Amino acid sequence: MIKSHPAQNLLRDYVAGDLNSASALVVATHVDMCPHCQRHCSAIEAELSAEVFQNSAQLGDSDMQLMLDAIFSSESAVEQRPLTAETSHDGMISLEGKRFKLPRSLARQQARIGPWNKMIGNMWRASLSLGTDEVANLIYMGQHCSVPEHTHRGSELQVVINGTFSDEYGQYSDGDLLLLDGTHKHTPHTNDEDCLILAVMDAPLHFTSGISRLLNPFSNLFFR
Amino acid sequence: MQLQPNRDAPRTVMKTTKPDEAEHLTRLLATVAGDRCRRSFSELFRHFAPKLLAYGSRQFGNEQIAADLVQETMTNVWHKAHLFNADKGAPATWIFTIARNIRFDILRKNKHRRDEISADELWPVLAETSDSWGDDYALDHGILMQEISGYYAKLPDAQRVVIEKIYVEGKSQQEVSDSLGIPLGTVKSRTRLALRKLKELITE
């Protein structure tokens, strides 16, 4: 049962197409997994379309006719790109002997997922190249894994794809979406379950306690 | 980040088009899909094109790009009318989502590369097949501080002392230079060497 959903304004920006690609992908992944937010998105689409289409611009008859003629003589874009059948990809990823089924939004992105790199501890990371300036990463935390306490210098959007992790604020499982920023100081960890996360970050983490500060010069290597 | 200033308008006002109009537009879409009816499409076009143009003008501030948005959106409506599903929402909503996707791509195409993620990947409004992924993402089946300490332990003593003073105790390089009685240049070079070494150790 998904407990943590995007805020109304985040969902609205997503539906309006106003989020950057990486953030939109995180929200899309949550929505894929969350029937509640799917209904919400449909409602927002209806609202936005009503709002947007209240206004009309002047369009002369001859211009309209020209456009119509062009449309009627246009070829149907022949199956531009099979959106779902990235045929060689099965929507599964394998890591550490386990297989994960990707939500639809991510399965479409399977070809963009780079190689898995081991970070320190029982953590792995694969970046998703979205062809944009933003960075999205899949992060896998094995069982009994913990990340030292840190804050987020920019903001970070995460969605749990599979598994469970906890921090000082709660426990997050499949589909839960988190928005973290500089006001959150937290220590994520897993217990008996492992966890696969999609994360989008706009600045490296900043570790805040004790010896983990040793990580700060490398934080951009691991956590970006 | 908002499309319209009246974001806080009461919900009731937003309740889309009047039911009659939506039904009429739905019938038009059905005849376009079933009979390739140009007259029905022309009526749809006259209804939506001015609205789409207003949307595009507001989004792009450019009449030509706005006109492209209208053209591209309505071309999709003409060819893909069969994908409209009245159970999922009103025709206006469907057409809005098509325009939203096209706008998303136009905004990005201007400055970016070809391999960029496209709106259709995020919102598969016009996907021909509905994918069959189930809702179960079930599994088929720590960064440890000791480990970090282990990396640091591999540094030569002289470098490790400098790194710990800077990154654990939070001292400046000048302070480290003063407290250890070594030149500032030496502190800097030891820091640099140590970071390079650690990076190798951690990423190998």
Same domain? For B100 and B57 the reply is yes
**Within this chain, do residues B110 and B73 fall inside the same structural domain, yes or no?**
yes
Together in a domain, B29 and B93: yes
User: Does residue B26 sit within a domain?
Assistant: yes
- Compute how many other C-beta atoms are within 10 angstroms of the C-beta atom of residue B9: 12
Per-residue pLDDT at A206: 64
Based on the structure, what is the number of domains in chain B? Answer: 2
A99, closest residue in chain B (CA to CA): B140
User: Do both B110 and B156 map to the same domain?
Assistant: no
Q: What's the average model confidence in pLDDT over B173-189?
A: 89
Query: What is the C-alpha separation between A167 and A169, in angstroms, rounded?
Result: 5
**Residue in the structure block whose two tokens are 């951690």:** B202
Percentage, residues of chain B above pLDDT 90 = 41
Residue B8 domain flag: no
Q: Can you give the residue range of the structural domain that contains B76? A: 16-122
Q: Which residue of chain B comes nearest to A160, CA vs CA?
A: B137
AA letter at A148: P
Domains and CATH numbers, chain A: 92-222 (2.60.120.10)
Question: In this structure, are B116 and B150 located in the same domain?
Answer: no
d(CA A222, CA A190): 18
Which of residues B110 and B69 earns the better pLDDT score? B69
Tell me the per-residue pLDDT of B93-112, one tens digit each, with 9 for 90 and over: 999 999 999 999 888 775 55
Asked if residue B38 and residue B109 are part of one domain, the reply reads yes
My answer on whether B95 and B162 are in the same domain is: no
Under 8 Å CB-to-CB from B178, ≥6 apart: which residues? Answer: none
- Do B75 and B152 lie in one domain? The reply is no
Cβ under 8 Å to A: B residues 109-148? 112-117, 119-124, 127-129, 131, 133, 135-145, 147-148
**Are A41 and A15 within 8 A, CB to CB?**
yes
Distance between CA atoms of residues B63 and A27, nearest Å: 31
Using a 10 angstrom Cβ sphere, with 0-12 exposed, 13-18 middle and 19 or more buried, the burial of residue A62 is: exposed
Q: State the pLDDT at residue A92.
A: 81
What is the model's pLDDT at position A56? 94
Compute the nearest-CA separation of B187 from chain A (Å): 16
pLDDT tens column, A130-147: 877 777 899 999 998 888
- The one-letter amino acid at B119: A
Q: How many CA atoms lie within 13 A of A169 on its CB side?
A: 12
Q: Which residues of chain A have pLDDT under 70?
A: 77-90, 120, 153, 202-224
Tell me, yes or no, whether B68 lies in a domain: yes
Distance CA B179, CA A69 (A): 81
Residue B50 lies in a domain: yes
pLDDT band of B8, cuts 50, 70, 90:
very low
Q: What is the residue-averaged pLDDT of chain B?
A: 79
Q: Say which CATH number the domain at B172 has.
A: 1.10.10.10
| Same domain as B149, residue B64 | no
A59 touches chain B (CB under 8 A): yes
Q: Is B59 on the interface with A (CB under 8 A)?
A: no
Where does residue B111 rank: exposed (0-12), middle (13-18), buried (19+ CB within 10 A)?
exposed
Tell me, yes or no, if A173 comes closer than 8 A to chain B by beta carbon. no
Q: Do A162 and B90 touch (CB under 8 A)?
A: no
Of the three residues B87, B122, B157, the one that is the final residue of a domain is: B122
Q: Does some domain include residue B67?
A: yes
Give the whole-angstrom CA distance, residue A20 versus residue A37.
19
Contact B202 A218 (CB under 8 A): yes
